[in-house]
């Protein structure tokens, strides 16, 4: 074969390969074009279906929206999270109108959202909403209702934040105990968990409130967004405070000494080497001031043998107080507060020490301990209120003139205001107290007569600090 023939053959092969490549690319281009059209058609279809449901739902025309809902979730379940957000509103509307058959649909809508948009969904929030709706509409037995809340809380306690649902959860437990379906110990355990949850939410809100209110106190103007946030924080804090009071009320006489002492006496021998049980028992008796009973002494001594700790220091302090050894008791209390891992426990102990100091007339030390308490638990408004009352009670000893003595009421009112801002459970009382103190402070005519408008008064008594007299 000549060189020319070889070249011709190679050329033909090359041309064939090029043709095959071009043909392959053409086929692929066609396929992609067809596929792209399919995807575009699918997108357009879901957009049309979604709009048929979402647009009337936005306008609250739920009867029309309902006609298109099933088709959207069947053919385009992942189209938009808005599908399920509006579905919830739609089914809630029908349920409020009395159609309880829609409760199952509502629950399914929530489940679809968790399935298709799980990363954008708060499980605890959704499950507690489902449980609340079933409870509100008397769906299922009380045990089934409780279990629904229990599942929500245990799966995602962080996002189980509805004050109403938190109360319902605990209320059902108490009802089940009353009917013999739950043990008393289970109710006490849940009470501890619920109280801790409420105080955690309160503390987080109080920190946010303090940050914004401190800005106001410094003379800075809040932006409109900050003002709205502050109002929302204060509203939510008030709700948690009311729920906490309701939870305590629901527990009622179940947690008094006549119930607690027989319960723990009965189990002492069997549980005396169970450190967790001993801690819970001693803690509950301590919290309810059942410390004069011999059982409490047995529990403390046993706990100190098993695991000396911050709690044993607290209980030893209580025993010393029972004996009348106040100084020794305070020493134990302070040691316990410094050793605690839980800031809420430290706060309660510091508050107790402050009360003891106040009772002895050691106002400056009492204030110091009250402030230590709110450092540990920012939502402990009652500590601020105690300081406010101490300020007011010191009016006659803080100042050289009648005007200066009455000026202390402004300082007392400021502290009472702070109590109202951070603690919803006492907000009403704190605001009334602040108003009362302002009425006792110098009024406009007094300020004018004394020529004190805009001036600063410094207190040289234990209160210290100063107040600025309002300008006329």
Give the pLDDT confidence score for residue 8 in this predicted structure.
Answer: 53
Query: Is 341 strand, coil or helix?
Result: coil
- Domain positions in the chain are 14-121, 380-472
Can you tell me the distance from the alpha carbon of 431 to that of 420, in angstroms, rounded to the nearest whole number? 6
Point out which residues pair with 458 in neighbouring strands: 466
Query: Is 79 strand, coil or helix?
Result: coil
The winner for highest mean pLDDT among 216-225, 382-391, 451-460 is: 382-391
Can you tell me the distance from the alpha carbon of 87 to that of 68, in angstroms, rounded to the nearest whole number? 11
Residue 275 pLDDT exceeds 80:
yes
Span of 92-101, 149-158, 212-221 with lowest mean pLDDT: 212-221
157 φ/ψ angles, rounded to the nearest 5 degrees: -65, -30
Say what the alpha-carbon torsion angle 441, 445, 447, 450 is, to the nearest 10 degrees: -120
pTM over 0.75: no
Give the pLDDT confidence score for residue 31 in this predicted structure.
Answer: 41
Residue whose C-alpha is closest to residue 284's, from 303, 257, 304: 257
What residues contact residue 167 under an 8 Å CB cut-off, 6+ apart?
Answer: 243, 246, 247, 250
Chain-centroid distance of CA 467 in Å reads 34
Predicted confidence band at 219 (pLDDT cuts at 50, 70, 90)? Answer: confident
**Per-residue model confidence as pLDDT tens digits over 116-130:** 998 889 999 999 999
* Contact call for residues 403 and 442 (beta carbons, < 8 A): yes
User: For all residues of the chain together, what is the average pLDDT?
Assistant: 88
pLDDT > 70 in the chain, percent = 91
**Tokens representing residue 58 in the block:** 């936005």
**Per-residue model confidence as pLDDT tens digits over 73-117:** 999 999 999 999 999 999 999 999 999 899 999 999 999 999 999
Taking the CA atoms of 392, 397, 399 and 401 in sequence, report the sign of the dihedral they define.
Answer: positive
Give the pLDDT confidence score for residue 343 in this predicted structure.
Answer: 92
**51 in the Ramachandran plot: left (φ > 0), alpha (ψ -120 to 50) or beta?**
alpha
């Amino acid at each position: 074969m000549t060189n020319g023939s070889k070249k011709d053959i190679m050329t033909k092969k090359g041309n064939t390969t090029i043709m095959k490549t071009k043909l392959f690319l053409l086929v692929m281009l066609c396929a992609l074009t067809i596929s792209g059209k399919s995807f575009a058609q699918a997108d357009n279809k879901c957009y049309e279906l979604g709009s048929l449901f979402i647009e009337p739902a936005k306008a609250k025309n739920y009867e029309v929206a309902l006609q298109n809902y099933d088709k959207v979730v069947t053919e385009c379940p992942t189209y938009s999270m808005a599908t399920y957000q509006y579905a919830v509103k739609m089914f809630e509307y029908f349920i409020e109108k009395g159609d309880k058959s829609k409760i199952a649909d509502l629950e399914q809508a929530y489940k679809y959202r968790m399935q298709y948009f799980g990363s954008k969904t708060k499980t605890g929030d959704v499950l507690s909403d489902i449980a609340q709706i079933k409870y509100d509409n008397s769906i299922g037995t009380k045990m089934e209702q409780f279990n629904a809340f229990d599942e929500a809380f245990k799966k995602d306690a962080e996002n189980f934040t509805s004050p109403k649902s938190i109360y319902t959860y605990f209320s059902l437990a108490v009802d089940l105990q009353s009917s013999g379906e739950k043990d008393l110990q289970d109710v006490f355990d849940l009470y501890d968990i619920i109280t801790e949850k409420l105080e955690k939410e309160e503390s987080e809100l109080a920190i946010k409130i303090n940050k914004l209110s401190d800005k106001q106190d410094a003379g800075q103007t809040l932006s409109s967004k900050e003002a709205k946030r502050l109002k929302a924080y204060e509203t939510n804090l008030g709700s948690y405070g009311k729920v906490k009071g309701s939870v305590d009320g629901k527990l009622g006489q179940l947690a008094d000494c006549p119930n607690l002492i027989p319960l723990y006496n009965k189990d002492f021998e069997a549980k005396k080497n169970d450190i967790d049980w001993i801690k819970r028992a001693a803690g509950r008796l301590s919290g309810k001031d059942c410390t004069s009973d011999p059982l409490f002494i047995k529990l403390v001594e046993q706990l100190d043998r098993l695991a000396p700790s911050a709690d044993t220091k607290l209980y030893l302090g209580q025993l010393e107080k029972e004996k009348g050894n106040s100084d020794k008791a305070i020493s134990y209390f302070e040691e316990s507060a410094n050793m605690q891992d839980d800031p809420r426990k430290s706060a309660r102990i510091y508050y107790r020490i402050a009360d003891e100091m106040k009772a002895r007339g050691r106002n400056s030390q009492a204030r110091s301990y009250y402030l230590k308490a709110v450092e540990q638990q920012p939502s402990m408004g009652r500590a601020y209120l105690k300081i406010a009352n101490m300020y007011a009670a010191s009016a006659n000893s803080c100042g050289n003139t009648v005007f200066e003595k009455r000026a202390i009421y402004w300082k007392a009112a400021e502290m009472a205001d702070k109590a109202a801002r951070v603690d919803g459970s006492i907000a009403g009382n704190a605001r009334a107290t602040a108003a009362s103190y302002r009425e006792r402070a110098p009024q406009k005519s007094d300020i004018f007569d004394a020529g004190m408008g805009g001036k600063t008064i410094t207190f040289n008594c234990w209160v210290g600090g100063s107040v600025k007299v309002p300008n006329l």
